[in-house]
Amino acid sequence: MAGGEQDAGRCPRCDTPYAEGQEFCLECGARLPSPTGLVGRLGSAWRRRFDWYPGDWIWPALLALVIAAAAGAASAIWLSDSSASDNNTVVATSPGATSVQLTQTAPEPTITQPTQTTPTTTAAPPPPPSQANAPTTWPAGRSGWTIVLDSLPSPSGRAAALAEARRARQGGLAKVGVLDSSQFSSLHPGYLVVFAGIYASQAEAQSAIIDAHQHGFGGAYPRRITP
CA distance 184 to 158: 17
DSSP secondary structure of 140-171: TT--EEEEEEEEEETTT-HHHHHHHHHHHHHH
Nearest residue to 193 (alpha-carbon basis) of 183, 182, 178, 205: 178
**Whether residue 192 sits in one domain with residue 152:** yes
CA 57, CA 93: separation in Å to the nearest integer? 62
118 in any annotated domain = no
How do strand 100-103 and strand 89-92 relate by DSSP bridges? antiparallel
> Do 75 and 48 lie in a common domain?
no
The answer to the question of residue 11 being in a domain is yes
In a domain, 198, yes or no: yes
Q: How far is CA 119 from the centre of its chain?
A: 22
> What is the residue range of 191's domain?
144-225
Q: So what's the pLDDT on residue 2?
A: 39
Pair (162, 199) in one structural domain: yes
Do 78 and 40 have their domain in common? no
Predicted pLDDT of residue 1: 37
The C-alpha atoms of residue 166 and residue 176 are separated, in whole angstroms, by 8
Same-domain status, 67 and 40: no
Q: Would residue 187 count as lying in a domain?
A: yes
Residue 148 CA to residue 178 CA, distance in Å, equals 10
Name the nearest CA neighbour of 33 among 61, 58, 69, 8: 8
CATH number at residue 215: 3.30.70
Number of domains in the chain: 3
Ordered alpha helix ranges (H), 29-104: 37-49, 58-86
Q: Are residues 48 and 63 in the same domain?
A: no
Q: Is residue 120 part of a domain?
A: no
Please check whether residue 134 lies inside any domain of the structure.
no
- Predicted confidence at residue 13, as pLDDT, reads 87
Residues 81 and 18 occupy one common structural domain: no
**Is the same domain home to 38 and 73?**
no
Predicted pLDDT at 90:
44
Q: Note the pTM of the prediction, 2 decimals.
A: 0.42
> Is 211 part of a structural domain of the chain?
yes
Q: Pick from 48, 69, 87: which residue ends a domain?
A: 87
The answer to the question of residue 112 being in a domain is no
Q: Based on the fold, state whether residues 67 and 52 are members of the same structural domain.
A: no
Kindly provide the b/e burial profile for residues 163-192, where b requires at least 16 CB atoms within 10 angstroms of the residue's own CB.
Answer: ebbebbbeeebebbbbbbbeebeebeeebb
Residues 29 and 82 occupy one common structural domain: no
Q: Do 155 and 219 share a domain, yes or no?
A: yes
Distance CA 47, CA 186 (A): 144
pLDDT, averaged in runs of 10, over the chain (227 residues):
52 86 85 69 71 70 89 84 59 45 55 61 59 80 93 85 91 91 92 93 90 89 94
Residue 200, CB-side half-sphere exposure with 13 Å CA sphere:
0
Q: CA-CA distance, 12 to 71, in Å (whole number)?
A: 46
Residues 202 and 164 in one domain: yes
